[in-house]
C-alpha cells in the first residue's frame, strides 16, 4: 500500500471538513434553544418577583412588616436576575425597567423597615411598572 503525502492531506482535510460540518449542523438549533430557555427563565423570575411583591402587599395590609420585608428581598433578587437576563438577550429597555422596579422594591423594603404603611403605595407603583416578556 503506497500512501502519499497528498492522500494524507486530502484525508485530513476531509475529516476536518466533516467535523466542522457536524459541529455546525449540531449547533444550529442549540442557539435558538438557549435563547428560548433564557426567555423562559426570565419569565419565571418576573413571575416570582410579581408573586413576592403581591405577597408583600398582603403582609403590609396585615401590618406584618417583617414578612413583607422578606418577600421584598426575594422579589428584588428575582428582578436583578431578570435584568441580567434581559441584558444577555439584548433587551435594554426591559432590563432598565426591571432595574427601576428593583429600585422601587428596595425603597418599599426600606419603608417597611421603618414600619411605614405608605410602602404599600410604593409597591403598587412597582407592580404597575413590572416589565412583560416580549
pLDDT in tens, 76-104: 999 999 999 999 889 899 999 999 999 99
Residue written as grid cell 422596579: 101
DSSP 82-125: HHHHHHHTT-HHHHHHHHHHHHHHHHHHHHHHTT-TTHHHHHHH
- Would you place residue 105 in the very low, low, confident or very high pLDDT band (cuts 50, 70, 90)? very high
Q: What whole-number distance in Å separates Cα of residue 23 and Cα of residue 36? A: 20
pLDDT in tens, 52-64: 999 999 998 888 8
Asked whether 102 and 58 are in contact (CB, 8 A), the reply is no
Rama region for 133: left / alpha / beta (φ>0; ψ in -120 to 50; rest): beta
What pTM value is reported for the model? Answer: 0.74
Average pLDDT for 101-118:
90
Amino acid at each position: 500500500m503506497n500512501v502519499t503525502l497528498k492522500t494524507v492531506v486530502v484525508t485530513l482535510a476531509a475529516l476536518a471538513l466533516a467535523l466542522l460540518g457536524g459541529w455546525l449542523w449540531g449547533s444550529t438549533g442549540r442557539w435558538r434553544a438557549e435563547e428560548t430557555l433564557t426567555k423562559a427563565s426570565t419569565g419565571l423570575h418576573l413571575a416570582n418577583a410579581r408573586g413576592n411583591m403581591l405577597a408583600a402587599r398582603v403582609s403590609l395590609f396585615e401590618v406584618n412588616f417583617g414578612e413583607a420585608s422578606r418577600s421584598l428581598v426575594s422579589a428584588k433578587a428575582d428582578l436583578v436576575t431578570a435584568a441580567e437576563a434581559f441584558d444577555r438577550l439584548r433587551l435594554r429597555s426591559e432590563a432598565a425597567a426591571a432595574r427601576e422596579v428593583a429600585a422601587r422594591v428596595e425603597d418599599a423594603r426600606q419603608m417597611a423597615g421603618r414600619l411605614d404603611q405608605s410602602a404599600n403605595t410604593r409597591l403598587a407603583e412597582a407592580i404597575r411598572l413590572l416589565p412583560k416578556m416580549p
